[in-house]
Chains A and B, each alone.
Chain A
């Protein structure tokens, strides 16, 4: 079946630096993508989303980029803080009423 995958399972970034988490998806019919953040012992929390008719969307300190040509999604976090340490998931909606999640990237912010 189709899947959503990540290039890197772990990422360590110095506090204050920017981080980029990448995600590859394979379902060309997906029209909506979400990034979630999961802290230890908690459920995933919504960070930012993007529709397929856009290629960039910005939030507070976060930016999502979508490249439909190569089926690639990325999450950029600016000026990382210790509280950004978590597992980050990308998820796609292929129009079948469910979100398919990627395998997750563990981001560690080094003080």
Chain B
């Protein structure tokens, strides 16, 4: 069973459209994340949710809206897609930082978004 699964794996769309990427984790983790990886492989955090509550928002445009219906799901909705949104988006989860434990992230396989 896939621990962190995201769909779709590929997403090709026109500029101006609205699209969503879904993510689910079956690890029982409390914290979920969205990362963006650009064409140079640079990974940058976008959002982090802990138990459905937003804890990190890294100056991402308002067009990006994460939604966490429960702690096992963190979906990413993007409005009015722009060319610069083309990238690979990774969902991840972790147990969350606790005393004596570390912030080890488990990543999904990525969604390659191409905006034409």
List residues of chain A with CB under 8 Å of any chain B CB: 32, 34, 36, 38, 41-46, 49, 51, 87, 89, 93, 97-101, 103-104
Contacts and interface: CB of A to CB of B under 8 A. Distances in A.
Interface of B: 4, 31, 33, 40-45, 48, 50, 55-56, 58, 90, 92, 97, 102-110
Contacts of A34: 102, 104-105
A43 B9 CA distance: 11
Given A32-B103, A46-B106, A99-B103, 7 more contacts: A34-B102, A44-B90, A49-B104, A87-B41, A97-B31, A98-B48, A100-B45
- Find the residue from A38, A41, A43 having the highest chain B CB count within 10 A: A43
17 contacts: A32-B102, A34-B105, A41-B109, A43-B110, A46-B105, A51-B102, A87-B41, A97-B31, A97-B48, A97-B50, A97-B56, A97-B103, A99-B45, A99-B105, A101-B42, A101-B43, A104-B41
Contacts, number: 60
Given A98-B45, A101-B43, A43 B103 contact: no
Contacts of B110: 41-43
A34 B106 CA distance: 12
Nearest to B40: A103
A49 B102 CA distance: 9
A23 to B, nearest CB: 14
A36 B41 CA distance: 13
A43 B108 contact: yes
Given A97-B48, A98-B48, A98-B56, A44 B43 contact: yes
Contacts of B92: 43
A9 B44 CA distance: 17
Contacts of A98: 33, 45, 48, 56, 58, 103
Contacts of A42: 109-110
Nearest to B92: A43
